[in-house]
């Protein structure tokens, strides 16, 4: 057919629809290489009766992600603040004993390949496998690809291979700055190029359920997404390959398991076996600090770096892949600074006087005819492919010329360097100009890359080397070519294929993830350089991915294409942003790439719930799953007839979940996710919508917690949701509360404050308070309130009825003490403004230890200096602080309050 796999998949989808042919998941596109084969497919499978029209079949096929070439266009730079900005982050995974089996078994009859490391893990692993009676083939040397393939083929003659453990990336390659070109190439050959050769040979074996590929890395246990960054970044190439292979072999178990530098071989071997047997919900698994981790995306706004990060006329920028249309558009935007630009690309510097460059834009069809005539005149056959190739050369030349012109129009300097990035000596000679003429480089943009989509078994070694080499070897050569020149910011262009893996792109994913882990390592190896990796989706309007079948395939996969104005502006935003460098995903909807691999995310809900058992609080019910997107999800059924916190908390007669019990629910679900961590705070709580229990009927609430590592703390993003079915309407799903729970390995420190003074003036009694407040007995937490200078004091009532049933179910955040703060703040608001209000948001609730409480709990409330809400603490008579509430804000109810009822409160709060 002479077309790529993307176009081939689209063609088969169209044919099946047209002729009414049922989808065959076992169909191999490589079995139909010619038009005659396709005709035979139609004849063999077309139904005898004419088909009725059907809806289009969704085809999941390799999607070419990166855009490379097309004409540079004038782009108006958009404000990208409203477009999703997501960063890769480490999230907690459930303990293995709480996870479902993977379907892999390790016992007599299994035949497993072990590619050895140099640190002893392979020996310990083989010993463990032999104890399980598993037959092993150990590759304990570093053969060339042909020798490895021959060895595997010989072993396959005795039967299929059921699994592979790939361990070379457990060996730390050492600082990249100390590697020469030979060391760099050899390190990647052993780690990832041999992996590609092995899995190409074993492509048919490692495919059905029960087979596996488990690769191991030494990135630090968090895949390089912690504050220290990646420790042995070459492991990123192995992880990238593994993620893409998982897309091509969805029925097999495919995992990349990452470890810290201090983990001993016997433990690593034990954990690799355990990871093989449990949890198929995630490909990327990290093991650190006795916990399991994975990687997901979180929304995070960029922070303006101000003058410290701005680009000026003194800025020096080095840009690779400069002739690409996307890169040209980005360079044109950055050119506004008027700085010095060194532009690197394989193509020669364009001749701005070449009339074909203008004709490419204004007279493209006639230009194509002229190109065909020129090819014929040269004695060659003017095939459409050859004409398109010549057109592509002009396309890149036009893009390059436009970028150079933009730089010079802005008063900047543009120097073009024609160089093959994979040639280390040539790159070094090229960058000698930079080293000699500049004391520093402010920005290095590595944008060069090529993409050829074919599944691993159909991809030639030459193609694989090309795709992988331009990005990875080009990056190494650029860094070594710059040498000791101080580098301010390094930006590498990765891809969503590098973040998620993508079928047909094992090479591309491997190279991109290597780049991501390389800039991650800068946090430790070169902290003076801010490393940024941008994971692009395909661009719309410009670039290779904007043409042909790719936009349709992206739509079928549910993946949005990127508006050029957003993409261009995103690069500048990341360069000038403050803070440490991150791996940033610039994309809209990610469709199938974010689809979970397992219905429950790998969690066994029954086993997990049984493990919590009697320690569960009143807001924690059945577990329903633990996905990468949302984290741990739990359902809790609540009945106002049974629970005082509902029955005694009514607005206009309808039970309403107290906000403080929502806070308690967040703490409970986060604590259930994170064994051995202590809840120390609940932050950024928003009460978006009241959660009502209509007609006193029970409701099931959904609690979600996604714990991720931030510094040394675990921070769980939480939501409380509820569904409601209404007659003749779609089911409603409402997010009622959101917040974040902060957990720590160590308990919070005790804190003290000045004891609350006794009342010296007017006091608001409980009778006065609950003449206005709607609370029932269990939530009449105030015994009295009074003003003490610029503070308002609220004293906790004694002998309160139980908060919940069973009354021995433990609580984590003392919800009625938080309620004491809320109600005391409400007295201040009623007494000064006459408004009755409900909770709207809380900046932070701290839960502090008090060993031996003394006397009565009292809330102390003060107005914030910024005028936005109040702060409050709950202390005992000795000044020990149990609860601290910061930045508590309310929203007023529309109803008016009787002035006579308000009078005692006004008098006391003056």
pLDDT at 350: 87
Alpha carbon 539 to chain centroid, angstroms: 20
Lowest mean pLDDT among 263-277, 598-612, 804-818: 598-612
pLDDT tens profile 623-663: 999 999 999 999 999 999 999 999 999 999 999 999 999 99
pLDDT at 51: 38
pLDDT at 520: 97
| Contact criterion met (CB below 8 Å) for 126 and 136 | yes
**What's the CA gap between 494 and 516, in Å, rounded?**
7
Q: Does residue 675 have a cis peptide bond before it, meaning omega lies within 30 degrees of 0? A: no
pLDDT at 869: 93
pLDDT at 544: 56
| Contact criterion met (CB below 8 Å) for 511 and 467 | yes
Cα atoms in the 13 Å half-sphere on the side-chain side of 547: 9
pLDDT at 67: 29
**pLDDT of residue 114 exceeding 60:** yes
pLDDT over 90 percentage in the chain: 71
**What's the CA gap between 832 and 669, in Å, rounded?**
38
User: What does the pLDDT average to over 373-392?
Assistant: 86
pLDDT at 155: 96
pLDDT at 844: 97
Question: Helix crossing, 506-525 with 235-248: angle to 10°?
Answer: 150
The conformation of residue 306, written as its DSSP 8-state character, comes to G
| Contact criterion met (CB below 8 Å) for 841 and 889 | yes
pLDDT at 10: 61
pTM of the model: 0.86
pLDDT over 70 percentage in the chain: 93
Lowest mean pLDDT among 36-45, 169-178, 617-626, 691-700: 36-45
With tokens 């192995």, the residue in question is 238
- Considering only residues 393 and 27, tell me which one the structure prediction assigns the higher pLDDT: 393
Q: Give alpha helix (H) positions in 59-210.
A: 121-131, 145-156, 181-188, 194-201
pLDDT at 306: 77
Cα atoms in the 13 Å half-sphere on the side-chain side of 11: 19
Question: Helix crossing, 355-362 with 384-409: angle to 10°?
Answer: 100
| Contact criterion met (CB below 8 Å) for 820 and 846 | no
Q: How confident is the model at residue 910 (pLDDT cuts 50, 70, 90)?
A: confident
**What's the CA gap between 364 and 357, in Å, rounded?**
10
**What's the CA gap between 212 and 225, in Å, rounded?**
25
- Considering only residues 451 and 307, tell me which one the structure prediction assigns the higher pLDDT: 451
Ramachandran angles phi, psi of 374, nearest 5°? -65, -40
**What's the CA gap between 221 and 232, in Å, rounded?**
11
Phi-psi region of 856 (alpha: psi -120 to 50; beta: other; left: phi over 0): beta
**What's the CA gap between 660 and 298, in Å, rounded?**
26
**pLDDT of residue 57 exceeding 70:** no
Q: Name the pairing type of β-strands 583-586 and 858-863.
A: unpaired
Structure tokens that stand for 136 in this block: 């092993």
User: What does the pLDDT average to over 489-493?
Assistant: 97
User: What does the pLDDT average to over 403-414?
Assistant: 93
| Contact criterion met (CB below 8 Å) for 601 and 576 | no
pLDDT at 866: 87
**pLDDT of residue 485 exceeding 90:** yes
Lowest mean pLDDT among 107-111, 362-366, 650-654, 739-743: 362-366
pLDDT tens profile 115-170: 999 999 999 999 999 999 999 999 999 999 999 999 999 999 999 999 999 999 99
Q: How confident is the model at residue 63 (pLDDT cuts 50, 70, 90)?
A: very low
**What's the CA gap between 492 and 611, in Å, rounded?**
44
| Contact criterion met (CB below 8 Å) for 129 and 136 | yes
**How many other CB atoms sit within 10 Å of the CB of residue 799?**
5
pLDDT at 545: 58
Structure tokens that stand for 620 in this block: 């924690």
**pLDDT of residue 300 exceeding 70:** yes
The conformation of residue 190, written as its DSSP 8-state character, comes to I
Q: How confident is the model at residue 330 (pLDDT cuts 50, 70, 90)?
A: very high
pLDDT tens profile 532-583: 999 999 888 676 555 556 777 778 888 888 888 899 999 999 999 888 889 9
Name the helix (H) or strand (E) containing 551: helix 550-556
**What's the CA gap between 710 and 672, in Å, rounded?**
19
Ramachandran angles phi, psi of 814, nearest 5°? 50, 65
pLDDT tens profile 786-825: 999 999 999 999 999 999 999 999 999 999 999 999 999 9
Q: How confident is the model at residue 331 (pLDDT cuts 50, 70, 90)?
A: very high
Lowest mean pLDDT among 89-103, 349-363, 660-674, 849-863: 349-363
The conformation of residue 6, written as its DSSP 8-state character, comes to H
pLDDT at 180: 96
**What's the CA gap between 148 and 313, in Å, rounded?**
54
**What's the CA gap between 656 and 544, in Å, rounded?**
55
**What's the CA gap between 803 and 736, in Å, rounded?**
21
User: What does the pLDDT average to over 603-618?
Assistant: 84
Number of helices followed by number of strands (H, E) in the chain: 24, 30
**pLDDT of residue 179 exceeding 60:** yes
Residues in the chain: 910
**pLDDT of residue 78 exceeding 70:** no
Residues in CB range of 74: below 8 A, 6 or more apart:
none
pLDDT at 660: 97
Q: How confident is the model at residue 81 (pLDDT cuts 50, 70, 90)?
A: low
pLDDT at 162: 97
Ramachandran angles phi, psi of 752, nearest 5°? -130, 155
| Contact criterion met (CB below 8 Å) for 878 and 755 | yes
Q: Give alpha helix (H) positions in 761-898.
A: 766-772, 815-833
Name the helix (H) or strand (E) containing 536: strand 530-536
Q: How confident is the model at residue 667 (pLDDT cuts 50, 70, 90)?
A: very high
**pLDDT of residue 22 exceeding 80:** no
What are the b/e assignments for 619-657, b being 16+ CB within 10 Å?
Answer: bbbebbbbbbebbbbbebebebeebbbbbbbbeeeebbb
| Contact criterion met (CB below 8 Å) for 683 and 716 | no
């Amino acid at each position: 057919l002479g077309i790529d796999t993307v176009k081939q998949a689209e063609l088969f989808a169209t044919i099946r629809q047209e002729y009414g042919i049922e989808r065959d998941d076992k169909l191999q596109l490589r079995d139909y290489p010619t038009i005659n084969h396709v005709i035979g497919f139609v004849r063999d499978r077309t139904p005898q009766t004419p088909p009725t029209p059907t809806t289009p079949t969704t085809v999941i096929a390799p999607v070419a992600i990166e855009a490379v070439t097309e004409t540079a266009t004038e782009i108006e730079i958009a404000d990208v603040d409203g477009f999703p900005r997501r960063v890769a982050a480490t999230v907690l995974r459930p303990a293995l004993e709480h996870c479902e089996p993977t379907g892999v078994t390790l016992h007599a009859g299994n035949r497993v390949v072990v590619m050895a490391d140099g640190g002893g893990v392979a020996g310990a692993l083989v010993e463990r496998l032999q104890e399980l009676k598993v037959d092993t083939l150990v590759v304990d040397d570093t053969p060339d690809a042909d020798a490895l393939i021959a060895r595997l083929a010989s072993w396959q003659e005795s039967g299929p291979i059921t699994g592979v453990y790939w361990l070379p990336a457990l060996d730390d390659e050492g600082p990249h700055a100390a590697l020469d070109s030979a060391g760099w190439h050899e390190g990647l050959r052993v780690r990832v190029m041999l992996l590609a050769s092995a899995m190409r040979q074993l492509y048919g074996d490692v495919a059905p359920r029960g087979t596996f590929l488990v690769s191991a890395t030494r990135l630090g246990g968090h895949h390089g997404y912690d504050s220290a960054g990646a420790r042995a970044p070459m492991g990123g190439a192995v992880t990238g390959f593994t993620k893409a292979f998982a897309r091509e072999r969805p029925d097999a178990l495919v995992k990349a398991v990452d470890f810290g530098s201090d983990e001993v071989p016997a433990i690593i071997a034990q954990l690799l076996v355990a990871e093989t047997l449990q949890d198929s919900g995630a490909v990327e698994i990290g093991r650190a600090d006795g916990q399991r981790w994975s990687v997901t995306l979180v929304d995070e706004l960029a922070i303006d770096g101000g003058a410290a990060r701005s680009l000026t006329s003194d800025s020096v920028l080095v840009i690779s892949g400069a002739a690409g249309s996307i890169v040209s558009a980005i360079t044109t935007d950055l050119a506004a600074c008027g700085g010095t630009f060194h532009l690197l690309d394989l193509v020669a510097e364009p001749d701005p006087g070449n009339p074909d460059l203008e004709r490419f834009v204004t007279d493209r069809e006639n230009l194509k005819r002229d190109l065909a005539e020129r090819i014929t005149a040269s004695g060659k056959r003017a095939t459409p492919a050859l004409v398109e190739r010549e057109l592509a050369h002009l396309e890149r030349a036009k893009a390059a010329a436009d970028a150079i012109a933009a730089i010079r129009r802005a008063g900047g300097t543009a120097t073009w360097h024609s160089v093959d990035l994979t040639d280390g000596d040539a790159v070094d000679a090229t960058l000698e100009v930079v080293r000699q003429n500049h004391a520093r480089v402010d920005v290095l943009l590595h944008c060069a890359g090529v993409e050829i989509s074919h599944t691993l078994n159909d991809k030639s070694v030459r193609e694989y080397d090309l795709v992988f080499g331009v990005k990875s070897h080009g990056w190494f050569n650029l860094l070594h070519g710059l040498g000791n020149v101080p580098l301010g910011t390094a930006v590498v262009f990765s891809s969503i294929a590098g973040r998620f893996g993508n079928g047909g792109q094992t090479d591309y994913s491997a190279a991109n993830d290597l780049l991501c882990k390389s800039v991650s390592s800068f946090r430790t190896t070169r902290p003076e350089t801010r490393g940024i990796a941008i994971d692009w989706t395909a661009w719309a309007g410009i670039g290779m991915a904007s043409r042909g079948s790719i936009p349709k395939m992206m739509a079928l996969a549910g993946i949005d294409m990127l508006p050029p104005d957003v993409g261009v502006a995103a690069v500048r935003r990341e360069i000038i942003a403050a803070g440490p460098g991150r791996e940033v995903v610039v994309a809209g909807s990610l469709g199938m790439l974010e689809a979970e691999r397992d219905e429950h995310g790998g969690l066994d809900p029954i086993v997990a719930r049984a493990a919590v058992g009697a320690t569960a609080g009143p807001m924690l019910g059945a577990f329903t799953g633990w996905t990468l997107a949302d984290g741990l999800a739990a359902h809790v059924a609540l009945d106002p007839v049974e629970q005082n916190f509902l029955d005694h908390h009514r607005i206009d007669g309808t039970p309403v979940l107290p906000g403080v019990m929502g806070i308690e629910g967040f703490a409970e679900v986060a604590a259930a996710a994170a064994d051995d961590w202590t809840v120390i705070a609940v932050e950024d709580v928003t009460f978006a919508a009241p959660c009502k229990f209509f007609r006193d009927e029970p409701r099931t609430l959904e609690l979600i917690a996604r714990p991720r590592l931030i510094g040394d703390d675990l921070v769980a993003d939480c939501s409380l949701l509820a569904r409601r079915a209404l007659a003749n309407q779609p089911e409603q799903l409402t997010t009622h509360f959101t917040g974040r729970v902060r957990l720590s390995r160590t308990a919070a420190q005790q804190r003290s404050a000045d004891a609350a003074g006794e009342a010296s003036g007017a006091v608001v009694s409980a009778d006065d308070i609950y003449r206005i407040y709607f609370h029932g007995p269990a939530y009449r937490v105030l015994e009295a309130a009074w003003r003490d200078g610029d503070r308002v004091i609220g004293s906790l009532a004694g002998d309160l009825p139980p908060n919940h049933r069973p009354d021995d179910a433990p609580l984590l955040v003392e919800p009625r003490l938080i309620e004491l703060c809320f109600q005391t703040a409400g007295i201040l608001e009623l007494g000064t403004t006459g408004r009755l209000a409900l909770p709207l948001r809380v900046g932070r609730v701290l839960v502090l230890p008090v060993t031996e409480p003394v006397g009565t709990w009292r809330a102390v409330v003060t107005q914030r200096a910024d005028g936005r809400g109040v702060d409050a603490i709950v202390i005992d008579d000795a000044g020990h602080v149990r609860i601290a509430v910061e930045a508590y804000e309310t929203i007023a109810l529309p109803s008016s309050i009787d002035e006579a009822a308000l009078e005692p409160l006004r008098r006391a709060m003056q």
